[in-house]
Structure 1
Amino acid sequence: MHADPEGEAPWAMQLVARVERRAPPTRTAVCAAAAGAVVRLLADERAQPGGEWYPRVRRWTDGAIRKHCRRARGVAWERVAALPGVTVSEAGAEVRALVPTALDALPREVAVLQLSGSELDDPDASAAVDPVPGGAVVVSVAPEPFLPLGKAAAACGHAAQLTALRMPAGRLAAWSGAGFPVVVEHPDTTRWARLRLLAGVEVVDAGFTVVAPGTTTALARWA
Structure 2
Amino acid sequence: MTAVPETDTGFGARHRVLTRGYGHRPDPDDPAAVLAMPIVLHIPKQNPPRRSALLEAAAMATIALCLDPRVGPDADGQPGPWQDAYLAWNDARIRKVSRRARGAQWLAAQDVDGITVDHDGAQARALVPGPVGDLDPRISRLQIGGTDLPHDDPGDPDPGIPVLWIDAGLDMTVGKAAAQVGHAVMLLAGALDEDAVRAWAADGYRCAVRDADPERWKELRTRAEEGRGPVAAVRDAGFTEVAPGSMTVIAVAG
Measured against the shorter chain, the TM-score band is over 0.9
Structure 1 partner of 2:25: 2
What is the identity, as a one-letter code, of the residue corresponding to 2:49? P
Normalised to the residue count of structure 1, the TM-score between the two structures is: 0.93
Alpha-carbon contact 2:51-2:152 (below 8 Å) kept: no
Other-structure match for 2:104: 75
The corresponding residue for 1:185 is 210
Q: In 1, are the aligned partners of 2:28 and 2:34 still within 8 Å (CA)?
A: no
Structure 2 distance, partners of 1:14, 1:118, is: 17
Q: How does 1:124-143 map to 2 (within 5 A)?
A: 124-126=153-155, 129=157, 132=159, 135-143=160-168
Q: Return the alpha-carbon distance in structure 2 between the equivalents of residues 125 and 172 of structure 1.
A: 25
* Cα offsets for 1:101-120 (capped at 9, x unmatched): 10010011111111112321
Give structure 1 regions of 4+ aligned residues with deviation exceeding 4 angstroms: none
Displacement of 1:221 after TM fit?
0.6
Q: Percent same amino acid among aligned pairs?
A: 37
1:99 maps onto 2:125 in alignment: no
Name the SS of the counterpart of 2:168 in structure 1. coil
Match of 2:94 in 1: 65
**One-letter amino acid of the counterpart of residue 98, structure 1:** L
Report deviation, 1:209: 1.3
Residue 47 in structure 1 maps to residue 71 in structure 2: yes
For 1:1-223, what aligned pairs fall within 5 Å after superposition?
1-7=24-30, 9-49=33-73, 50-126=79-155, 129=157, 132=159, 135-199=160-224, 200-223=231-254
Q: Distance in 1 between matches of 2:44 and 2:147?
A: 13
Counterpart position of 2:9: none
Give the whole-Å Cα distance in 2 for the aligned partners of 1:125 and 1:211. 25
Q: Matches of 1:156 and 1:207 in 2, distance apart? A: 15
Distance in 1 separating the partners of 2:161 and 2:250: 14
CA separation in 1, counterparts of 2:251 and 2:111?
A: 31
Q: How far apart, in 1, do the equivalents of 2:150 and 2:169 lie?
A: 18
Residue segments in structure 1 that go unaligned for 5+ positions in a row: none
Tell me by how many angstroms 1:137 deviates: 0.9
How many residues were matched structurally?
219
* 2:164 and 2:249 in contact (8 A); partners too: yes
Quote the Cα distance in structure 1 between the aligned partners of 2:43 and 2:247.
27
SS, match of residue 118 in structure 1: coil
Instruction: Report the AA paired with residue 71 of structure 1.
Output: R
Q: Distance in 2 between matches of 1:191 and 1:4?
A: 35
Gaps of 5+ in 2: 1-23, 74-78, 225-230
**CA offsets, 1:74-115, max 9 Å, x none?**
111111011100001111110000000100100111111111
Q: 2:211, 2:29 → 1: CA distance?
A: 40
Deviation at 1:198, TM superposition (A): 2.4
DSSP 3-state at the match of 1:196: helix
Question: Are 1:34 and 1:96, in contact at CA under 8 Å, matched by a contact in 2?
Answer: yes
Q: Distance in 2 between matches of 1:89 and 1:213?
A: 32
